[in-house]
Amino acid sequence: MSTLLTGIAASAGIAMAKAYRFIEPELTVEKIKVDQPETEVARLDGAVEKSQSELEAIREKAHKELGQEKAAIFDAHLLVLQDPELLGPIKDRIQSENVNAEFALKETADMFITMFEQMDNEYMKERAADIRDVTKRILSHLLGIHIPNPSLIAEEVIIIAEDLTPSDTAQLNPEFVKGFTTDVGGRTSHSAIMARSMEIPAVVGTKEAVASIQNGDFIIVDGLNGEVHINPTPEVVKQYEFKHSAYEAQKAEWAKLVSQPTLTKDGQRVELAANIGTPKDLKGVLDNGGEGIGLYRTEFLYMGRNELPSEEEQFEAYKAVLEGMKGKPVVVRTLDIGGDKELPYLDLPKEMNPFLGYRAIRLCLDEQSIFRTQLRSLLRASVYGNLKIMFPMIATLTEFREAKKMLEEVRQELTAEGVSVSNNIELGIMVEIPSTAVMADVFAKEVDFFSIGTNDLIQYTMAADRMNERVSYLYQPYNPAILRLVKMVVDAAHKEGKWAGMCGEMAGDEIAIPILLGLGLDEFSMSASSILKSRSLISKLTKQEMESLAKEVLLMETNEDVKQTVANAVEKNKK
């Protein structure tokens, strides 16, 4: 029977394929007395063998697709799997207590995990995490329960999940993963943002996808309208084939603008830049005509691994991006870990409100050696292109001054070592906390630029979690409260002769763009896949008319009034 679910359109495009449920199964273990312990030992050996060939295949794939660093995680797992210090005590337990393999495995592994976790030694803590992963794998084979692993998918599928973490999303291979849908999430959760840069159509916040979809169901993900069709009728499939072709034709039309500058109808220039998470995203930026990088989220370099990236590894990544952009501006944001972007190996205490907690610049100013390593690699890379550095989550001027001081100290250190550093690096901040937007006039005297991070600015201003679909109705980019804050920031920058950009998702939103043009925003940074569409929209608008439109909407009362007014004005302006 055909069923329709609705959710939030998170990444544009239409995808059709079979469902692949990515859901962690429950692995429940019972204690069972056995008569023949040797059979249990043999079952354990069989499960270890299966786990070994599975891990070797994953390691091989990770090595090919993600590089040696990422593959090293699986080397560590293989070592655990072959470790007699772990397997020996499990077998002893089976034989001495006459218990089933599952029980002996779980009890023994839990004992080692607790022991290692309590040690005051990072290396041993990492081993605890490895043992946990490996135990899960062996247990799944003993219990005959399949643990899904999206990195091993080798046919076209649509992923169905409760939620996807940013590192889950990073592992998806767009060659096979044609789309995804999740029960929870918002348009600005990081998995949605990543889906846009990977150009994987996605609908999030469908609430019931996991409950309604079985493995193998035929699914259509409509990332344009936020709809998911389960086992659609042949008529619906036909309509979507048509919609898909129309969207592809539209994209081909936009693609003609790839080498054009971004100009309004009356010839005013603005910059359209891209947001990236790794050097691998550069191809998408160049293919989509990005005029710069407005936000390089460096935290992805720190994720999906077991230890901090070295200075050398970071240097290589920053250098690759700077060289790849051939002198065009590259705004690199220093580490913004926290919120939904976790680094398990830092072993930070769990927080009640991670988005309001110990994250980004707060963590960097405290964990100085992490921050200094990043600043060293950035400054070393600065001679390879047009680098601009930006600090995230700045709430007070004191934080900015402290971070700037540290940057200067690192510069002096490098100069003393005889390392060359560019002396033309602009230094800016993300404006994503309301206190900073309100104080923009004061900040503007000390920073070289602002980049407005509306993903967080909206959630903090409206007190509406950006990841929670139940309050997504309050996550209102066009609310005059947000527009007034944006205006304060842009005006403050211009008064001091500085530039103001925006790297939150609002910068690529077709209702927001006309207003932002009218407010005088200088740089719009967005998912690469939104650039050409935005360039096409801007070419149909006149700056002067957008200025009057901005004035009008700033005085409006609600998000909906603004939305309607802009939609009408754009229609009129296009004619």
Residues that bind ligand PEP (CB under 6 A): 295, 297, 336, 432, 453-456, 503-504
**Given 77, 141, 229, 503, which residue is catalytic?**
503
Distance CA 529, CA 218 (A): 26
Contacted by 562, from ligand PEP, Mg ion, none: CB < 5 to 8 Å by type: none
Write phi, then psi, for 258 (nearest 5 degrees).
-60, -35
Distance CA 204, CA 182 (A): 5
Asked if residue 339 lies in contact with residue 303, where contact means CB atoms within 8 angstroms, the answer is no
Least Å distance, CB 424 to ligand PEP, is: 25
Distances (CA, A) of 406 to 6, 385, 400: 48, 22, 10
Site string for Mg ion, 432-461 (x = CB under 5 A): x--------------------x--x-----
Contacted by 294, from Mg ion, ligand PEP, none: CB < 5 to 8 Å by type: none
Helices (H) and strands (E) in the chain, counts: 22, 16
Residue among 271 and 456 whose Cβ is closer to Mg ion: 456
Asked if residue 332 lies in contact with residue 296, where contact means CB atoms within 8 angstroms, the answer is yes
Locate 462 and state its tokens. 């409206």
Asked if residue 221 lies in contact with residue 181, where contact means CB atoms within 8 angstroms, the answer is yes
Mind spelling out the 3-state secondary structure of 316-364? Answer: HHHHHHHHHCCCCEEEEECCCCECCECCHHHCCCCCCCHHHCCCHHHHH
Residue among 295 and 363 whose Cβ is closer to ligand PEP: 295
Residue among 54 and 432 whose Cβ is closer to ligand PEP: 432
Site string for Mg ion, 377-416 (x = CB under 5 A): ----------------------------------------
Pairing of strands 202-204, 177-182: parallel
Contacted by 503, from ligand PEP, Mg ion, none: CB < 5 to 8 Å by type: ligand PEP
Residue among 421 and 506 whose Cβ is closer to ligand PEP: 506
Decide if 503 is catalytic: yes
Distance CA 202, CA 187 (A): 10
Decide if 190 is catalytic: yes
Asked if residue 177 lies in contact with residue 159, where contact means CB atoms within 8 angstroms, the answer is yes
Asked if residue 239 lies in contact with residue 5, where contact means CB atoms within 8 angstroms, the answer is no
Least Å distance, CB 531 to Mg ion, is: 20
Rg of the chain (C-alpha set): 26
Site string for Mg ion, 519-558 (x = CB under 5 A): ----------------------------------------
Mind spelling out the 3-state secondary structure of 367-408? Answer: CHHHHHHHHHHHHHHHHHCEEEEEECCCCCHHHHHHHHHHHH
Contacted by 454, from ligand PEP, Mg ion, none: CB < 5 to 8 Å by type: ligand PEP
Residue among 102 and 456 whose Cβ is closer to ligand PEP: 456
Least Å distance, CB 453 to Mg ion, is: 4
Report if residue 505 touches Mg ion, rule: CB under 5 A.
Answer: no
Residue among 51 and 525 whose Cβ is closer to ligand PEP: 525
Least Å distance, CB 297 to ligand PEP, is: 5
Least Å distance, CB 466 to ligand PEP, is: 8
Which residues lie closer than 8 Å to 302 by C-beta, 6 or more apart?
308, 309, 335, 337, 343
Report if residue 168 touches Mg ion, rule: CB under 5 A.
Answer: no
Residue among 221 and 430 whose Cβ is closer to Mg ion: 430
Residue 269 DSSP label: B
Report if residue 299 touches Mg ion, rule: CB under 5 A.
Answer: no
Report if residue 339 touches Mg ion, rule: CB under 5 A.
Answer: no
**Given 190, 229, 244, 364, which residue is catalytic?**
190
Least Å distance, CB 43 to Mg ion, is: 49
Asked if residue 407 lies in contact with residue 427, where contact means CB atoms within 8 angstroms, the answer is yes
Least Å distance, CB 530 to ligand PEP, is: 14
Active site residues: 190, 503
Judged by the rule CB under 5 A, the positions of this chain that interact with Mg ion are 432, 453, 456
